A and B are shown apart, each in its own frame.
Chain A
Amino acid sequence: MTHVATTPQFKQNAHEALGDVQLQQALGNVRTGFIDKRAKAAAKLPEFEALRDSARDIKNHVLQHLDLYVEAYEAKVKASGGHVHFARTAAEANARIVEICKARGAKTVTKGKSMISEEINLNAAIEAAGMAAVETDLGEYIIQLRGETPSHIIAPAVHLNATQVEADFRRVHTHLDAARDLSQPTQLLTEARSVLRQKFLSADVGVTGANFLIAETGTSIIVTNEGNGDLTQILPKVHIVIASLEKLVPTMEDAAQILRVLARSATGQELTVYTTLSTGPRRAGDVDGPEEYHVILLDNGRSNMLGSEFEDMLRCIRCGACMNHCPVYHAVGGHAYGWVYPGPMGAVLTPTLIGVEQGGHLPNASTFCGRCESVCPVRIPLPRLMRHWREREFERHLSPVLVRGGLGLWAFFAKRPMLYRFSTGLAMRAMSLIGRAKGRFGWAPMASGWTKTRDLPAPQGATFQSQWKNRK
């Protein structure tokens, strides 16, 4: 499983995704399920809109004071017996984590679902150091068996169907009876439960992400429905949290505000089954829990986003609502985006983290329909941020020459109204005559992206402005 971005091949990725019948069927689940559930959850809570504003304001406040909240958080983690390690880059984060694991002679590392760990490609680093990394979230476990990356930030295996999962379980769980019945999803779940139960109990280190880091108490919060993140962190001797800087919130009350919009926006649940606050290692007198608690605080480009046009993106709470509502995501699914983060939030974040030269397709492949922004629980203006990436590309002359040239030609005429009226008057009359019989064109130069699959309506004839002039 590599993390070389295939985003430059986005168009080819999309082409393949559009032709993938099984994927298209699976994506139907995204369109119907998530959207209805979120709408119902929002409708059931009269305070939902006000809570979105509250969540946005909390995040903005933290970002404006991020350095101080980092300091306060670090002090509290230490006071509760934990350790904080700072990592500027993915490589530093991986090195710290591997060090901690090696110091404990770890052989098996269980993992709760963590998109940050995907971003830094942690599993590869763990395996390169001779240890086994075992994903425990059911969706992550399934894609780990397939050597795939997640195609959605909260539903990693949404691109698969049950038949594929059955095939993978049979292929990998060779210690089980080959004749067993796996035709029902509940049987797959039962099998995953017992296989992973063994891993939970034998793991030396457990790594989780964090949905929130609370500065007031030095606490990390994870939200899951399965309970895998909890078994990952309470059973092994060492619990490592990997989280990026912007996960900080000031107090438990602030976390509660944002929790009220997180699950509702993500899956339509009022709250996830398990919302867990972890603070430090086990206390004297505890009979379970980890002996060591480490937090890796990762920058990896976040501080560069502060004070920039893209600062709003740091409010993201990784709910996935944007991609659940995106017509482009519905059409091509998450893998087509080519890197870690898909959908609208991926379109903004990917160029930030891997550069706009590599990631530029994503903010361009949007109609700016605005549905993402309309459902974002922290009101990130995603289309505007995508447009900012287009502005960067334009300034740096990164857009394709033909596109820039075509727009330049349009601009030339648009800024010269008399010339515009003259030229377009001629052109529209001509096109109208040519297209008169059918009223449309099946082909037009430079527009094959359109005409391959659609007709292009023909102009009516004389332009409005020329007719208006004659009317007077």
Chain B
Amino acid sequence: MSERPMSTARDEILASIRHALNVTAADAPRRAAVAARLSAHAKGIIPQRGQLQGRALIECFMSQATAALATVVEVSEKDVPGEVARYLRENNLPATLKMGSDIRLNALNWAATTLSISFGASDGADLNGLSHAFGGVAETGTLVMVSGEDNPTTLNFLPDNHIVVLRAADIAGDYESVLGKIRDRFSGTLPRTVNMITGPSRSADIEQKMLLGAHGPRRLHIIIVA
């Protein structure tokens, strides 16, 4: 007398779905349709606003990000440390900075400033964090950040003030383009965390009045580098 294996929750749920849809697990055309859709990862409707090019693209990014209450400037790469120092000074913030090991940031001439810089993930004690974005999306002024030692995710959330360097060439019109790049760059498995960030943290939970700095950064400063 053989024992029937106990059906697991997984078995029962899949069986319940199949019963409701009146299909079987073995249905080959269905499987093929799903496999095809997954491998094609076709784009759907891309808004016009997400299809701009050239200068219009950059300006769309800047105006959208500004509307989301980030601040945005354009500088040349060598001027980034000076811009960071200026930003902190003008906002009456201490001249301290935490960043990851992103070579594009590390290689800049920080010695030309008086900033006191430390490296690594944030533990909650940092007031100012600096990251380099993977990309940007012009249609909503959104930064795309990718986890890892180069730009730890905690830097996106724990410091009060978040400064992000974004290359103009990495700005795309629509989300799909940047997500597609991530898919290609990290073939196999996505990074642990991809953050799409549009402006500083906020909440409207008290009487529907919007206030900045809910749990994440109060300020988001974006430095676009040509």
Residues in A lying within 8 Å of B, measured CB to CB: 26, 29-30, 33, 45-47, 50-51, 54, 58, 61, 64-72, 79-80, 85-88, 92, 136-139, 142, 155-158, 160-162, 165, 185-186, 188-190, 192-193, 196-197, 200-201, 215-219, 225-228, 230-231, 234-235, 245, 250-254, 256-257, 259-260, 267, 269-283, 285-289, 297, 299, 303-308
Contact (Cβ within 8 A) B154 A253: no
**Chain A proximity mask over B129-156: 1 for CB below 8 Å, otherwise 0:** 0000000000110100001110011101
> Contact at B48–A185, with CB atoms within 8 Å?
no
Chain A residues within an 8 Å CB radius of B43:
253
Of the A-B pairs whose beta carbons lie under 8 Å apart in the complex, a sample of 22, sorted by A's number, is A51-B44, A54-B44, A68-B34, A185-B209, A217-B190, A218-B189, A225-B204, A227-B216, A228-B214, A234-B153, A234-B154, A245-B13, A254-B44, A273-B216, A274-B201, A277-B193, A279-B189, A279-B191, A286-B149, A287-B152, A288-B154, A289-B192
Q: By the criterion CB–CB under 8 Å, are B215 and A86 in contact?
A: no
- With A189-B211, A227-B214 known to touch, is A276 a contact of B192 (CB < 8 Å)? no
A307/B206 contact (C-beta < 8 A), A196-B215, A226-B201 known: no
Chain B residues with Cβ below 8 Å from A51 are: 44-45, 47
What residue of chain B has the Cβ atom nearest to residue A161's Cβ?
Answer: B207
A472 to chain B: closest CB distance in Å? 57
Q: Which residue of B lies closest to A58 (CB)?
A: B44
Contact of A47 among B30, B45, B64, B195 (CB under 8 A): B45
Q: In the bound complex, how far is the Cα of B64 from the Cα of A92, in angstroms?
A: 44
Residues of A near B17 (CB, < 8 A) are: 66-67, 70, 245, 303, 306
CB-based contact B208/A273 at 8 Å: no
Report A146 CB to chain B, min CB distance, Å: 13
Given A65-B34, A228-B214, A245-B13, 15 more pairs with CB closer than 8 A: A65-B30, A142-B206, A156-B205, A225-B203, A231-B158, A235-B154, A256-B179, A270-B139, A273-B200, A274-B195, A282-B147, A283-B192, A289-B192, A303-B16, A307-B22
Contact B148 A283 (CB under 8 A): yes
Q: Given A46-B48, A66-B17, A289–B202 Cβ distance below 8 Å?
A: no
In Å, the complex CA distance between A140 and B153 comes to: 24
- The reply to whether A253 and B9 contact each other, CB–CB distance below 8 Å, is no
Please tell me if the beta carbons of A193 and B198 are within 8 angstroms of each other in the complex. no
Instruction: Give the nearest-CB partner of A216 in chain B.
Output: B38
Interface-centre pick from B21, B121, B154, B206 (highest chain A CB count, 10 A) = B206
Q: Per-position contact with A for B72-106: 1 when CB-CB < 8 Å, else 0? A: 00000000000000000000000000001000000
Complex Cα distance, B148 from A252, in Å, reads 20
B33 within 8 A of partner (CB) = yes
By the criterion CB–CB under 8 Å, are B195 and A70 in contact? no
Contact B190–A277 (Cβ < 8 Å): yes
B207 to chain A, nearest CB (A): 5
Residue of B8, B34, B68 ringed by the most chain A CB atoms within 10 A: B34
Q: What's the least CB distance linking A466 to chain B, in Å?
A: 53
What's the nearest-Cβ distance from chain B to residue A335, in Å? 16
Would A67 and B192 count as touching, CB distance under 8 A? Answer: no
Q: Quick one: given A67-B23, A201-B124, A306-B17, are A280 and B42 in contact (CB under 8 Å)?
A: no
List chain B residues, Cβ under 8 A from A289.
Answer: 147, 153, 192-193
Q: Which residue from B22, B23, B47, B100 sits with its C-beta under 8 Å from A45?
A: B47
Please provide the 8 A-B residue pairs with the shortest distance between their CB atoms, ordered closest to farther: A227-B216, A226-B214, A139-B205, A306-B20, A303-B16, A307-B20, A86-B9, A275-B196
For B37, the chain A residues whose CB sits under 8 A away are: 61, 250-251
CB-contacts of B146-196 with A (<8 A): 147-149, 152-154, 156-158, 174-176, 179-180, 183, 189-196
**A70-B17, A252-B41 known; A234-B49 Cβ under 8 A:** no
The distance from the CB of B174 to the nearest CB of chain A, in whole angstroms, is 8
- Chain A residues within 8 Å of B42, by CB: 251, 253
Which residues of A have CB within 8 Å of B174? 256
The answer to whether A252 and B153 touch across the interface, beta carbons within 8 angstroms, is no
Q: Measured between alpha carbons, how far is A139 from B156 in the docked complex, in Å?
A: 22
User: In the complex the two chains form, is B193's CB within 8 Å of A193's CB?
Assistant: no
Expressed in whole angstroms, the Cα–Cα distance for A156 and B124 within the complex equals 27
Contact A256 B176 (CB under 8 A): yes
Residues from chain A with a CB closer than 8 A to the CB of B189 are 79-80, 217-218, 279-280
Instruction: Tell yes or no: B10 within 8 A of A by CB.
Output: yes
Taking CB atoms and an 8 Å cut-off, the chain B residues in 50-88 that contact chain A are 64, 68
Residue pair A288, B121 in contact (C-beta under 8 Å) = yes
Question: Do A54 and B45 form a contact, CB below 8 Å, given A70-B14, A136-B215, A189-B213?
Answer: yes
Chain B residue nearest to A81 (CB atoms) is B189
B3 at the interface (CB under 8 A from A): no
In contact, A155 and B205 (Cβ under 8 angstroms): yes
CA distance A70 to B17 in the complex (A): 10
> Nearest chain-B residue to A137 (Cβ)?
B205
For A89, give the chain B residue with the smallest CB separation: B9
Closest Cβ–Cβ distance, residue B202 to chain A (whole Å):
5
Q: How far is the CB of B42 from chain A (nearest CB, A)?
A: 6
Contact of A67 among B21, B44, B48, B49 (CB under 8 A): B21
A225 pairs with B21, CB closer than 8 A: no
* Distance A45 CA – B102 CA, assembled complex (angstroms): 36
Contacts of A215 in B (CB 8 A): 38
CB distance from A251 to the nearest CB of B (A): 4
B176 to chain A, nearest CB (A): 5
Chain B's closest residue to A136 (CB) is B215
Which of A80, A86, A138, A235 sits near B8, CB closer than 8 Å? A86
Give A333 to B218 CA distance when docked, in angstroms: 32
B128: min CB distance to chain A, Å = 16
Do the beta carbons of B216 and A259 come within 8 Å of each other? Answer: no
Shortest distance between the CB of A191 and any CB in chain B (Å) = 11
A285: B residues at CB distance < 8 A:
148-149
**Residues of A with C-beta under 8 A to B44:** 51, 54, 58, 253-254, 256-257
Closest to A223 in B: B196
What residues of B have a CB within 8 angstroms of the CB of A276 in the complex?
A: 193-196
Q: Which residue of chain B is the closest to A29 with respect to CB atoms?
A: B208
Give every chain A residue within 8 A of B192 (Cβ-Cβ).
Answer: 278-283, 286, 289
A231-B153 Cα distance, complex, nearest whole Å: 10
Task: Decide if B41 touches A87 in the complex (CB within 8 Å).
Answer: no
Q: Out of A68, A72, A185, A304, which one reaches B207, CB within 8 Å?
A: A185
Q: For A279, list chain B residues within 8 Å (CB).
A: 189-194
Q: For B34, list chain A residues within 8 Å (CB).
A: 65, 68-69, 72, 250
